[in-house]
Amino acid sequence: MTEPPGEKPKRRPRYTGKNPRHFAEKYKEHAPGRYPEDVAKVIAAGKTPAGTHRPIMVREILEVLDPRTGDLAVDCTLGYGGHAEALIAAIQPGGRLIGLDVDSIELPKTERRLRELGFGPETFTAHQTNFAGLAKILPEPAELILADLGLSSMQIDNPERGFTFKYDGPLDLRMNPRRGQPASALLAQLDGSQLAEILSDNADEPDADRIAHGILRAPATTTMQLAAAVRKAGGDDDAIRRVFQALRIAVNDEFGTLDAFLRNLPLCLKPGGRAAILTFHSGEDRRVKKSFQALAREGVYDAISEEVIRASPEERRDNPRSTSAKLRWARVASPEGRGWPEGPGEG
């Protein structure tokens, strides 16, 4: 959030007390270029500055993807652009990165930030789209594909998006708030058994029936109303997080999107091309693991990660949001391998 050269900085939001408490008031962290020392203090304290995102497992991702000069790479979930920045640097000179993100609010900010870092259209292009349709975007199969399936810190921190119950906000939960219906509208359409199924399938909630009926007894349109309903039904903060996760997955059809992406993934990679996927809960990881294993048995992949790769103890300490991350990778076999598809859009 830097002002154009010569333009007078806008008046910062007023707030009560010594320090800003709310997302919109954190003017220093929203303009990190102007307040580097203050932002550094937040990071040194093991926190992520509001309005930004710290990329997870960058070193490990670069190791498994093995980027080389001239490669075509894809970041399927651009977010704040931290992974993209590292990949672009690693594939120069001559490399190109295609970035995808469905978030209509954050994508323009990230594209602007990467342009300001010097990445022009010949090096980096961005598309606002869901990664399930990657094959339609690619001009040719890529050498590297990364998908980070976690929420970005910008989405979590902004109460207007509805992803957090730390502060009150509309119960939205949409990755693209300009499409589909918010979680509050979905809840209004469900009965107890339907909601319980969503909580069980999407978040492995052990008390799905009790919590589902408790939520529907106290209809929620804001994040704190939903959290209060879960607590009244006997749930703790972990249960609240599972409820938010389950509803977010349902609102955005995240499992359907991931399944479509995993089916099309080999079509989008060149022979020897590698994919790396970061997941953050068991439902995602199970799908990635089973897809990689099934396609390895068919000969589409000639190597896959045998175990998940975790963030280092140092990273987990410095960035607690990396604690639940699981990284898996796969490498596409040669065209002679059984089950090899011809290319994007075919097969």
Residue ranges of domains in the chain = 1-52, 58-153+256-332, 171-250
Rounded CA separation 134/72 (Å): 14
pLDDT at 218 over 90: no
Q: How confident is the model at residue 166 (pLDDT cuts 50, 70, 90)?
A: confident
Superfamily of domain 58-153+256-332, CATH level 4: Vaccinia Virus protein VP39 (3.40.50.150)
Angle at 47 between CA 42 and CA 49, to 5 degrees: 60
Residue whose token pair is 């894809």: 74
pLDDT at 232 over 80: yes
pLDDT at 334 over 90: no
pLDDT at 26 over 60: no
Q: How confident is the model at residue 35 (pLDDT cuts 50, 70, 90)?
A: low
Q: Please state, in angstroms and as integers, the Cα–Cα distance from residue 42 to each residue in 29, 87, 318, following that order.
A: 9, 25, 11
- Answer whether 219's CB lies under 8 Å from 195's CB: no
Looking at this protein, which amino acid is placed at residue 57? M
* DSSP per residue, 212-246: HHHHHHS--SBHHHHHHHHHHTT--HHHHHHHHHH
- Answer whether 143's CB lies under 8 Å from 68's CB: yes
Task: Residue count of the chain, please give it.
Answer: 347
Q: How far apart are the first and last CA of the chain?
A: 44
Q: How confident is the model at residue 154 (pLDDT cuts 50, 70, 90)?
A: confident
Rounded CA separation 36/38 (Å): 6
Rounded CA separation 47/55 (Å): 13
